[in-house]
Chain A
Amino acid sequence: MLNAIMMKSCLGMIKVSKFIVFFLLFADVVILGYILIGNNNISVLNPHGLIALKERNLIIIATLFSLAAVIPVFIMTFLFAWKYRENNSKAKYDPDWDHDTKLELTWWAAPFVIILILAVITWKSTHELDPYKSINAGTKPITIQVVALQWKWLFIYPEQNIATVNFIQFPDRTPINFELTADAPMNSFWIPQLGGQMYAMAGMGSHLHLIADAPGEFAGSAAEISGRGFSGMKFVARASSQADFNAWVQSVKESQNKLGLPKYNKLAAPSENNPVALYSSVEEGLYNKIIMKFMAPSGGNMHMQGTNHQ
C-alpha cells in the first residue's frame, strides 16, 4: 500500500518536476540573455579597449565550445531520466548492458578534440595577450608606474614627472605601459573595461599593457585583498584626446603638492578611501627606490616599512 502511494507520488512528482525544471531553465536563459546582451553595465562583456575586446571574444569562443559538449549532456540527462523511469513500460530494460566500445571511444574522443582545439587557442591567445607584451598601435606609448599602497593607488608618470593618487588620465588610442609594484601586501590592478588585471607585489616590478579605443571614464579597482580598507581602493581611469591630456598634465603641474620622500613615507602609511590627489613633481627614481628597499638592507633615507617591529 505504502509502495503504491509512493509510486504514484513519484510519478506525479516526476511529471511536475520535469515541467518545473524545463520552465526554470527556459526562464533562466531568457533572463540571462536579456541581462547579458542588453546591459552596458557588464564591463567585461562591453570592452573599451583592444585587450578587453580580444579577451571578451575569447570568452564567447570558449563558451561556444564548452556548450558543444554540455548541451548533449543536458539533453541526454533529461531524456534518459524521462524515458527510462521505472514505470515507463515502453522503454527497454537491459540490466546487463554496461559497455559499448564505440560509445566509449566517442565520449573520450569528442571532448579530447574539443579540448585540443581549445588548447591550441589557449596557447596562441596566451602569447598574443601576454600582459608583458607591448601594444603596437602606431602612437608613442605612455608609461605609468603604479604603486599599490595601503589602501590607495599611487600613480607616477616618470616622463611627465607628475604623480596622482586614485586617478589616472591618458590619451586614447595610445598604448599604456603600466609598471607595477607595491609597498603593501600583494594587490591586483584591474580596469575591467580596458583589459585583464596584473598583480602588484612588493620588491618586484610587473608589467601590464592596455589601450583605450576611445575617450571615456573607466572604473578601476583592487582585486586582491590587502587588508582592512581594500574595498575602498578604487580609482578612475580616464581616456581623453591627446590635447585634453596635455592640458591635464599642465594643470597637475600647477598643484601645490610635491611628492618628495618624506611626503611619500607619510602617504604610504595606512589610510582608507583616499580622495584624488595630484602632485606636481616626484622624487627622482621613486618607483625604483620603492622596489629596492625590499631588495637590500636599507641604507639612505628611505625608512623600511618591512621590519619586524610591532
Chain B
Amino acid sequence: MNKHDNNDKTIFGFWVYLMTDLVMFAALFAAFAVLRNNTFGGIAIRDIFNPPFVLIETLILLTSSFSIGLTILSAQANKKTQTIFFLLTTFALGVSFLTMELIEFSHLIHDGNSFQRSAFLSSFFTLVGTHGLHITAGLVWMGILIIQVLGRGLTISTVRKLTLLTLFWHFLDIVWIFIFTIVYLFGGIL
C-alpha cells in the first residue's frame, strides 16, 4: 500500500527529529562551555580525565556503530539470522559502554565529586549523562526491534525501523565524538 511513501516520510521526519536532538545537545554543550571552569574550588576535568578509560569507551561505541552498519547490510540482504546476530553484538557493546560510564559516575560520586559539588560537575554529569540516557533509550529500542524481527521477520516495516535505529545510533556516536573531544580532550590536555 503506502508503505513506500511511509518510508520516505518517516525517515525524513526522523532526520528532522535528530536535528532537534542535536539542538538539545548543542545547548548542553553551550552550558558546559560556559561552566567548564566553574569548579568552585573543586576538581576540574584534568583531575577526572583517564585517557585509557575514555579511549576504550570510545572504541566500544565506534565498534558498535560498525556492527549496527553490518546489521543494516544484513537486513537489506534479507538475512534474518545475521541481522539478529549483529544487532545482539551492538546491544552487548552498548551495554558495555553504558556500564563503563556508570562506573565512572559512581567513582566520582563516591569521591564526593557529585553533580552537587560545583557548576562544572553539574554540567559534566548532565551532558555525558544525557548522552548515556539516549544510549539507554537506543538499547531499549534495540531490544524491542530484536523481538519484532524475530517474530515478524524482515518486513518493509521492520527494516524501516532498523534504518531509523541505525540513524539514531550513528547520531549518538557522532555526539560522543564531540563529547570526547570537547569535554575530555580539550579539558584534559589543553
- Direct contact between the two chains A and B in their complex (CB within 8 A): yes
Q: Does A71 contact B (CB under 8 A)?
A: no
A300 to chain B, nearest CB (A): 13
Instruction: Mark A276-308 against chain B: 1 for CB-CB distance below 8 A, else 0.
Output: 000000000000000000011100000000000
Q: Which residues of A contact B41 (CB under 8 A)?
A: 296-297
A294 to chain B: closest residue by CB: B40
Cα distance, A295 to B118, chains bound together (Å): 11
Cβ < 8 Å to A, chain B residues 35-82: 40-41
Instruction: Mark B23-39 against chain A: 1 for CB-CB distance below 8 A, else 0.
Output: 00000000000000000
B44 to chain A, nearest CB (A): 14
Q: Dominant SS at the A interface?
A: loop
Q: Dominant SS at the B interface?
A: loop
Q: Which residues of A contact B40 (CB under 8 A)?
A: 295-297
Cα distance, A297 to B40, chains bound together (Å): 6
Q: Which residues of B contact A296 (CB under 8 A)?
A: 40-41
B176 to chain A, nearest CB (A): 32
Cα distance, A295 to B40, chains bound together (Å): 7
Q: Which residues of B contact A297 (CB under 8 A)?
A: 40-41
Instruction: Mark B163-189 against chain A: 1 for CB-CB distance below 8 A, else 0.
Output: 000000000000000000000000000
A295 to chain B: closest residue by CB: B40
Cα distance, A219 to B41, chains bound together (Å): 42
B71 to chain A, nearest CB (A): 46
A308 to chain B: closest residue by CB: B116
Q: Which residues of B contact A295 (CB under 8 A)?
A: 40
Instruction: Mark A22-34 against chain B: 1 for CB-CB distance below 8 A, else 0.
Output: 0000000000000
B35 to chain A, nearest CB (A): 13
A297 to chain B, nearest CB (A): 5
B38 to chain A: closest residue by CB: A295
What are 5 A-B residue pairs whose CB atoms fall within 8 Å in the complex? A295-B40, A296-B40, A296-B41, A297-B40, A297-B41
